[in-house]
Amino acid sequence: MLSRFPLAATLFALMTTAAALSAAEPSFPDPQSLPVHTALPDPLVLTDGQPVTTREAWSEKRAPELRALFQHYEYGAFPPPAKVMAKVLREDKAALGGKATLREITLSLSQPEGTEIHLLLVTPNDAKKPSPVFLGLNFNGNHALLPDPQIFVPPTWKSHKGQTLEQSRGSEFDTWAVDQTIARGYALATFWNSEVVPDDKDAAEAMLKKFRPSGSAERGPSDTATIAAWAWCLSRAVDYLVTDPTIDARRIAVVGHSRNGKTALVAAAFDDRIALAVPSQAGCGGTAPCRVSEELAKEGPNGRPTVETVRQINKSFPHWFCGNFKAFNDEPARLPFDQHELIALCAPRPVFLSCATEDVWANPSGQFEMLRAADPVYKLVAGDGLGATQMPEVSKPLPSRLGYYIRPGKHSMTRSDWAVWLDYADKWLRP
């Protein structure tokens, strides 16, 4: 159930007081001073308690307010856009047996200094016009997507699966289903997440320092964290894709699995050039609620709760989120938002949550509840949103603007997933 005015009024009072005391621009209250509020915050109420009743009020007032809150209390600051210089390192017009053109493109960013993204872009050769594209981060390097011995491997690469370089080449061909995507008329663009910021709590810190506007050696409580940095870099890839003549700039979809799914949703919420988002099994800190029942949050004999919680994710992956987010480990109900409002920030663009029955850790039912809670925003902004009030049956996709899919299986990204995602994209991206 959504809660309306009490939380908004309290938050507004705290923000106003903080701003008055600092004699500066409006600031945010300390996390511990925020009220405990177990119900989901209403996305259609401003922090001053005023209801949001028009599309204009949403886009001009509430959406910017929510983006500021998410940056301050969860993901950390998004740096301003950087200039992107692109250089094609290699082109293979006979990829996938002549069905595709493969390009390896280096994106050099003006800041942080020295940052490069090695983008792998595969486009269909039979396209008669610019192609829609799926853009996403990969876990194991671009070379893992295709059995092509020439695909560039960054000198910092190491396998997250303990593979040798040769073992890893082409090892995720089925995970990414590049051939299937090309056959359906879509391009695929990807880069390795750890090339930008290493997915390691110790190694990440050195790169995250470069994202701090102050250049401070110490990480501030709302400084850029890893997921925000990854999402920001997805937007830098979008900067390039909208200029590429083989890509339809109006039909850019983001996709990602697990932590990369969280990142895909964050990128879509902060970049409206992204036309569609498919977060796969993104879970806590992405598509699942921070507020969970005591029963689900209770630790079992194995020392883990039933579903991933704010405390658990901050303990396991402290580099993903900003310092302020850790202040909510014991009381996530103090958060002035929840993840349904991150989904709502994508309105009116389609969002399709993809889950699996055995991936209880990612809280599939909670993810559906986030769609239900985001639905009022979609109804206001787009006129339609979630096409059901109950979770759909297993293996029966719900392809509404706010869509949902749960299949049998574990925490993974599969060819069968891609078949469903491509069907969804056909519905919403094809002219």
Provide the angle, in degrees to the nearest 10, between the axes of the packed helices 226-241 and 259-270: 60
Choose the catalytic residue: 131, 168, 258, 400. Answer: 258
Facing residues of 103 across strands? 91, 121
Take residue 378 and report the two structure tokens written for it: 């979609």
Instruction: Say which residue the tokens 């902060």 belong to.
Output: 270
Neighbours of 393 (CB within 10 A): 9
Stated as kind and residue range, the H or E segment containing 168 is helix 165-168
Take residue 388 and report the two structure tokens written for it: 């059901």
Q: Helix, strand, coil proportions of the chain in percent (round to 5)? A: 40, 20, 40
Return the closest-CA partner of residue 277 out of 287, 289, 292.
287
Neighbours of 113 (CB within 10 A): 8
Specify whether the CB–CB gap between 281 and 308 falls below 8 A: no
Choose the catalytic residue: 27, 411, 412, 416. Answer: 411
HSE at residue 414, side-chain half, CA atoms within 13 A, is: 13
Specify whether the CB–CB gap between 120 and 187 falls below 8 A: no
Provide the angle, in degrees to the nearest 10, between the axes of the packed helices 63-70 and 259-270: 140
Positive/negative CA dihedral, 210, 215, 218, 219 = negative
The C-alpha atoms of residue 142 and residue 155 are separated, in whole angstroms, by 13
Residue 110 falls in the annotated catalytic set: no
Phi, psi for 422 (deg, rounded to 5) = -70, -35
Facing residues of 187 across strands? 133
The C-alpha atoms of residue 260 and residue 416 are separated, in whole angstroms, by 19
Residue 316 falls in the annotated catalytic set: no
E strands, 139-246, in order = 187-192
- CB neighbour class for 392 (10 Å; exposed up to 12, middle 13-18, buried from 19): middle
The C-alpha atoms of residue 41 and residue 333 are separated, in whole angstroms, by 10
Active site residues per annotation: 258, 411
